A and B are shown apart, each in its own frame.
Chain A
Amino acid sequence: QSVLTQPPSVSGAPGQRVTISCTGSSSNIGAGHDVHWYQQLPGTAPKLLIYGNSNRPSGVPDRFSGSKSGTSASLAISGLQAEDEADYHCQSYDSSLSAYVFGTGTKVTVL
Chain B
Amino acid sequence: EVQLLESGGGLVQPGGSLRLSCAASGFRFSSYGMIWVRQAPGRGLEWVSGISAGISVTHYADSVKGRFTISRDNSKNTLYLQMNSLRAEDTAVYYCAKKAVVGTSGWFDPWGQGTLVTVSS
Contacts and interface: CB of A to CB of B under 8 A. Distances in A.
Contact of B45 (A34, A48, A98, A105): A105
A99 interface: yes
Interface residues of B, number: 23
B44 interface: yes
Interface of A: 1-2, 33-34, 36, 38, 44-48, 51-52, 57, 89, 91, 93, 95, 97-105
A33 B95 CA distance: 23
Interface string B56-75: 00010110000000000000
Contacts of A105: 43-45
A72 to B, nearest CB: 17
A48 B110 CA distance: 7
Interface of B: 35, 37, 43-47, 50, 59, 61-62, 95, 100, 104-105, 107-114
Given A98-B59, A99-B59, A100-B35, A48 B108 contact: yes
A100 B44 contact: no
